[in-house]
């Protein structure tokens, strides 16, 4: 069905496809309260978090592409070398075909719809396999596309467990876009590679935040608390490792503890799955056994699923697993450093590289530090929200994934790039064609020496 629908869908102009995207945007906007309710019921995410990090980001992306997609997908003239005098060159972007999108439960609106709408605008049809943990939201996504008037077969939402995802890959889509954890991402990547299916992977993170001695500490402390604990830390770009200059370490720690103590469950929400809660507990308990200290939080006999208290760990070292494994929960580790070189070395001591933050009043220093970090994205004096800037490509390095989306990259990643040259075809022969003549070789010899000697 998706293959047949793609022929008709891709034949539409970009502007005609955007008419459908606009209808989808308006439909979602008219039903904000229902989306907020569904997300709260299935994930425990607060109203503010749903509006800001799910709905606003998604709707803003739609509006962004409505204004710019026509230009981004327009064929682009490029320069032609002197050796092809009189010819012209251009690049055009064509849809890949049927795209399979796999999305997680932690941001069930944003991480489903952003890749889906990008693929659709580029002229592809989409089979979306969302997380089985949020079935009501998945149903709502499917019904909203239908209510917005998308033609049959252009978007299909297929629910189910891992075997359903495996079956989708085996059908041989033309592109796979996967967002999720490293473990599952490896499986998808292996299957895609065996079938020679291009695959973009948005995977796990272990994001560092560096607090320099000249940082505005009140801002840095608030950023660390929000960046670590919003949506109970169930965010791939949450702040997990905070490195603080030794001169301000004690004061910074005092501030983050005080700010964290003011939080309530309505601020940070709950953990979505009981298995996730148990895993966070295991990781924190293991870190304490290895010598980490609970500055705040951790579990007690009274606490249990679904809420895990915001937890701050000190006395941590890079020999501990908790500094290297993603913690999908509200856990912040805080560690002092001596100088910028050490902060950079500690930040880069990770198999992940998704996002990073540096806090300093010296903006040049902050940028220089970020440019030396092994990360796909960075933010000076801010956390997390940089990834919602649609003018910037987003994606990770190392084991945080590969590929980029957002900005024009978000459309081009779902396109085949075709390069074309045009010769007027009036000459009977070309200097590089048979029959070879000595004067042609002499000309080429002089030409090469003149141009490159």
Residue positions annotated with a catalytic role: 202, 236
Query: Closest by alpha carbon to 36, among 95, 89, 109?
Result: 109
Output the six-digit token pair for 22. Answer: 């606009």
Q: How far is CA 151 from CA 20, 31, 73, 109, in A?
A: 9, 21, 22, 21
> Which residues sit opposite 38 in a β-bridge?
none
392 and 377 Cβ atoms separated by less than 8 Å:
yes
**Distance (Å, whole) CA 211 – CA 228:** 14
**Distance (Å, whole) CA 231 – CA 243:** 22
Output the six-digit token pair for 91. Answer: 């690049």
Query: Closest by alpha carbon to 378, among 402, 348, 407?
Result: 348
Helices marked H in 336-387 — which ranges? 340-348, 363-372
Q: How many Cβ atoms from other residues are within 10 Å of residue 321's Cβ?
A: 11
Torsion sign over Cα 243, 247, 252, 253: positive
Q: How far is CA 313 from CA 34, 138, 316, 344, in A?
A: 38, 36, 7, 20
Task: Go through 260-295 and write b for each residue having 16 or more CB atoms within 10 A of its CB, e for each that does not.
Answer: beebeeebbbbbbbeebbebbbebbeebbeeebeeb
Element of type H or E holding 199: strand 199-202
Output the six-digit token pair for 34. Answer: 């229902």
Q: Quote the DSSP letter at residue 158.
A: -
Query: Closest by alpha carbon to 329, among 289, 290, 277?
Result: 277
Question: Phi first, then psi: what are they for 3, rounded to 5°?
Answer: -65, -45
Q: How many Cβ atoms from other residues are within 10 Å of residue 18's Cβ?
A: 21
**Distance (Å, whole) CA 367 – CA 148:** 43
**Distance (Å, whole) CA 304 – CA 277:** 8
**Distance (Å, whole) CA 307 – CA 328:** 13
Q: How many Cβ atoms from other residues are within 10 Å of residue 137's Cβ?
A: 22
């Amino acid at each position: 069905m998706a293959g047949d629908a793609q022929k008709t869908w891709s034949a539409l102009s970009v502007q005609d496809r955007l008419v459908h995207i606009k209808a989808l945007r308006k439909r979602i906007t008219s039903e904000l309260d229902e989306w907020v309710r569904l997300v709260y019921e299935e994930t425990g995410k607060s109203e503010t978090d749903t509006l800001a990090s799910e709905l606003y980001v998604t709707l803003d992306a739609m509006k962004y592409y409505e204004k710019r997609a026509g230009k981004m997908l327009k064929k682009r003239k490029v320069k032609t070398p002197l050796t092809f005098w009189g010819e012209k060159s251009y690049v055009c972007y064509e849809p890949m075909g049927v795209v399979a999108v796999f999305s997680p439960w932690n941001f069930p609106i944003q991480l489903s719809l952003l890749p889906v709408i990008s693929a659709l605008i580029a002229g592809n049809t989409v089979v979306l396999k969302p997380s089985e943990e949020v079935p009501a939201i998945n149903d709502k996504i499917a019904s909203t596309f239908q209510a917005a008037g998308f033609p049959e077969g252009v978007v299909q939402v297929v629910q189910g467990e891992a075997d359903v995802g495996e079956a989708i890959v085996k059908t041989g889509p033309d592109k796979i876009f996967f967002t999720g954890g490293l473990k599952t991402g490896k499986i998808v990547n292996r299957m895609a590679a065996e079938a020679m299916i291009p695959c973009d992977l948005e995977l796990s993170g272990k994001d560092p935040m560096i607090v320099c001695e000249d940082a505005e500490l009140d801002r840095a402390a608030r950023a660390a608390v929000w960046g670590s604990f919003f949506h109970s830390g169930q965010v791939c770009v949450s702040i997990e490792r905070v490195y603080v200059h030794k001169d301000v370490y004690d004061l910074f720690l005092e501030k983050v503890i005080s700010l964290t103590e003011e939080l309530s469950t309505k601020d940070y929400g709950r953990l979505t799955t009981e298995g996730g809660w148990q895993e966070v507990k295991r990781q924190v308990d293991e870190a304490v056994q290895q010598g980490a200290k609970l500055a705040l939080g951790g579990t007690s006999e009274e606490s249990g699923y679904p809420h895990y208290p915001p937890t701050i760990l000190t006395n941590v070292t890079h020999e501990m697993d908790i500094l290297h494994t993603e913690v999908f929960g509200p856990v912040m580790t805080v560690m002092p450093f001596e100088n910028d070189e050490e902060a950079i070395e500690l930040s880069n001591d990770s198999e992940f590289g998704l996002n990073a933050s540096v806090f300093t009043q010296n903006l040049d220093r902050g940028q220089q530090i970020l440019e030396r970090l092994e990360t796909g994205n960075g933010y000076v004096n801010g956390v997390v929200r940089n990834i919602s800037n649609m003018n910037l490509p987003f994606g990770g390095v190392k084991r945080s994934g590969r590929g980029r989306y957002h900005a024009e990259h978000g459309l081009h990643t779902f396109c085949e790039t075709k390069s074309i040259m045009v010769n007027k075809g009036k000459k009977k022969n070309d200097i590089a064609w048979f029959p070879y003549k000595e004067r042609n070789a002499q000309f080429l010899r002089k030409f090469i020496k003149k141009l490159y000697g």
